[in-house]
Amino acid sequence: NNLTLNEYVKEAISLLPATYDASIYSDFMDTWGTHIAVSTLI
């Protein structure tokens, strides 16, 4: 599957520092979460 990210998450990712900063990365995870749904069955 190809995953296409929207412009908002792309921007958020681009703003993450290369050097780990717990506070910044924690804020990112609080905003965007850790999982995505790539398919669903109803």
CB count, 10 Å around CB of 9? Answer: 13
Residue 39 has a pLDDT of 84
How far apart are the C-alpha atoms of 39 and 30, rounded to whole Å?
23
Residue 28 has a pLDDT of 96
Residue 25 has a pLDDT of 96
Report pLDDT digits (tens) over 4-35.
899 999 999 999 999 999 999 999 999 999 88
Q: Within its chain, how far is the Cα of 35 from the centroid?
A: 9
Residue 23 has a pLDDT of 97
Residue 30 has a pLDDT of 96
Domain that holds residue 21: 1-42
Residue 1 has a pLDDT of 63
CA distances from 21 to 1, 13, 17, 26 (A): 31, 13, 7, 8
How far apart are the C-alpha atoms of 1 and 12, rounded to whole Å?
22
